[in-house]
Amino acid sequence: MKSIKVFAPATVANLSCGFDVLGCCLDTVGDEMIIHITSTPGVRIIKIEGADLPLETEKNVAGVAVQALLAEYGKEIGVEIEIFKKIKAGSGIGSSAASSAGAVWAVNHLLGTPFSTYKLVEFAMVGEKLASGNAHADNVAPALLGGFTLVRSYTPLDVIKLNNPKDLVMTVIHPQIEVKTSDSRSVIKQNVSLKQAINQWGNVGGLVAGLFTEDYDLIGRSLEDVIIEPMRSILIPEFQKVKDTAIRQGALGCGISGSGPSIFALSKSMNTAQKVAQGINEVYKKTGLDFDIHISKINNQGVKIMEL
Ligand code: ADP
CATH of the domain at 51: 3.30.230.10
- 138 and 238 in a common domain: no
- 292 and 219 in a common domain: yes
User: By alpha-carbon position, which residue is closest to atom 20 of ligand 1?
Assistant: 60
**Coil/strand/helix, residue 65:** helix
**Coil/strand/helix, residue 113:** coil
Residue 128 alpha carbon, nearest atom of ligand 1: 7
Average pLDDT, the chain: 96
Report the separation in Å between the CA atom of 43 and the middle of ligand 1, taken as the mean of its atom positions.
Answer: 18
- 187 and 73 in a common domain: no
User: By alpha-carbon position, which residue is closest to atom 25 of ligand 1?
Assistant: 96
- Using an 8 Å Cβ cutoff, are 213 and 164 in contact? no
Tell me, what's the pLDDT at 248? 98
Report the separation in Å between the CA atom of 157 and the middle of ligand 1, taken as the mean of its atom positions.
Answer: 22
Indicate the pLDDT class of residue 75, thresholds 50, 70 and 90.
Answer: very high
Name the percent of the chain lying above pLDDT 70: 99
Report the separation in Å between the CA atom of 135 and the middle of ligand 1, taken as the mean of its atom positions.
Answer: 13
- 64 and 8 in a common domain: yes
- Using an 8 Å Cβ cutoff, are 103 and 35 in contact? yes
Residue 48 alpha carbon, nearest atom of ligand 1: 23
Residue 182 alpha carbon, nearest atom of ligand 1: 6
Specify the long-range contacts of residues 112-120, CB closer than 8 Å, at least 24 apart.
114/73, 115/69, 115/72, 115/73, 117/144, 117/145, 117/302, 118/145, 118/159, 120/69, 120/144
- Using an 8 Å Cβ cutoff, are 132 and 38 in contact? no
Number of structural domains, the chain?
2
Tell me, what's the pLDDT at 181? 67
Catalytic residue among 32, 80, 122, 128: 128
Render pLDDT for 78-136 as a digit per residue (tens, 0 to 9).
999 999 999 988 899 999 999 999 999 999 999 999 999 999 999 999 999 999 899 99
The reply to whether 181 belongs to the active site is yes
Range of 59's domain? 2-162+300-306
Indicate the pLDDT class of residue 163, thresholds 50, 70 and 90.
Answer: very high
- Using an 8 Å Cβ cutoff, are 61 and 49 in contact? no
- 97 and 182 in a common domain: no
**What pTM was estimated for this model as a whole?**
0.96
- 35 and 140 in a common domain: yes
- 72 and 6 in a common domain: yes
**Coil/strand/helix, residue 234:** helix
Question: What residues flank ligand 1, with Cβ below 6 Å?
Answer: 53, 60-62, 83, 89-97, 99, 131-132, 180-181, 258-259
Catalytic residue among 181, 238, 245, 272: 181
The reply to whether 57 belongs to the active site is no
Mean pLDDT computed over 139-168: 98
CA–CA distance, 204 with 219 (Å, rounded to integer): 10
Render pLDDT for 178-219 as a digit per residue (tens, 0 to 9).
777 677 778 899 999 999 999 999 999 999 999 999 999 999
- 143 and 43 in a common domain: yes
Q: What phi and psi, each to the nearest 5 degrees, are found at residue 38?
A: -125, 175
